[in-house]
Structure 1
């Protein structure tokens, strides 16, 4: 088999392992087969507030011409998000007298492309370019108008993190999407470079400390006493726990940083659907309603009186958390 074609197949396989969306994989494959040497494809993920844009970068080696995934970046947009079926459009410089534009899916990518223009440009959105509504205009490389509904989005500085892949290993894309929103992820392939040992740890990005090499530092919670989501789930009246497959799916979701939906039974015997998230630092679960409101977890406990341990853990100083922080801005 041609080594270049083999590398394309390998990249496609790795992209699926990382959790890249199928539409992005199709777009990536098309560009690789057309010989484009620098490729960037973006997947969009809904968030509690706004949207996360995950962009994967694929390069072609100068020596072997083989393709490889070098990194992906997650960017958290807490501003304006378009409704489904709409996209952004950025007008580009004319070429041979022909007017040009580029369609862009994500808000942040669209604004970035628009700001990169040097002369005249228009940023708009709609189902098609012909029917699109103007958001912002640029003259002589300077933005001279921004629609009221997008002014806050233009001013916001998004959270971003770049995840470099070490021989194809690292966080998955969905895990990176969850981490940039402030959630915890459980990793079983952490490496102690001094001892050459692999260990397990819950990780979380530290948004309170300065970035290192343009990346957030990583807090780690490891050791024999680290959070066990399965044991914690068993403390609550959650309907899905009676089904082994659903129980296992909940545990896997929590370890990946997801916010799975559960049916809880309150002290009054009534059922309601909530979402849950892992709070690994305090070894607990957080419960949220459909609007993101925090719910008191005690009301869903099988044995409400046995909750003092959680309260004691929550009262510990945040300084203890810093002791577990990774001292380097790791691309996790």
Structure 2
């Protein structure tokens, strides 16, 4: 094809050409990009991504954020729905922080949120009884080099293969919980500068690129996780027996007694069922929000033990090992497979697991 050609495909209007190219699997895009500079630019454009979304030809990809075997490098690795390793996405801009969170907005774009630099030291002798005093006054022991929280928010757009800076949160924070509910992102509590415990929640609207503050649940927010179900936000704090449920329509929180103490360090949601790794029981916890029921499932011994992480792929639960690379287990939790874990030969990360998300583009 001539570089000077003004049409994407000679003889066709650009709209029709875009529709034709949108039908081609993304795994072939690398070859298509070599046809000419015009195609390479067009295939990476926002407009072409919008066409693929309109025609329903977007594909699901799994992005695993990991660190190298020797721990000297962190990077994102991308897998398609067949398990093919498609390489890496550009490095996250700026210095890497601890205590950050990652979310996906609209199923398409990855948000890298908050975190802290410095170090934190837990001094449990300073934790006051929850019933006395203001919980906001509790802080971590801040000996040498106290944690400095960040309000930074960055967005990765897979269509353009690039990062960009979004609006900062109102309050710098780390070690918080978050979940998307009906297109809005809720960031629940966490810690701010010098380890002070936050008692509020922030809401991000991607349409306006704005954050707004709202009251948070009445729970002690050390870690934990959040998820959405039927247009409601569910938040669980580690070290608590209470699940907090927020209804955006009524702007109210309610509490659900779990009747068990949780210590969750990884979770995923598959077909509206929540799976989490519970350090207290050493099992895989399963929560059905429809029935408000909890059960425990067998968890095979893997290198790294409870430090393994959960993910999902093709509507099945993945179990990563943080210490042993290229070792991934999978379980569909259905009768046909007998609720058994098996080796997932298709997904072999090259580093140790940190975070997993799914995107469509």
Greater percentage in helix: 1
Q: Which has the higher contact order (CA 8 A, sep 6+)?
A: 2
Instruction: Using structure 1 for the length normalisation, give the TM-score.
Output: 0.28
Instruction: Using structure 2 for the length normalisation, give the TM-score.
Output: 0.26
Larger Rg: 1
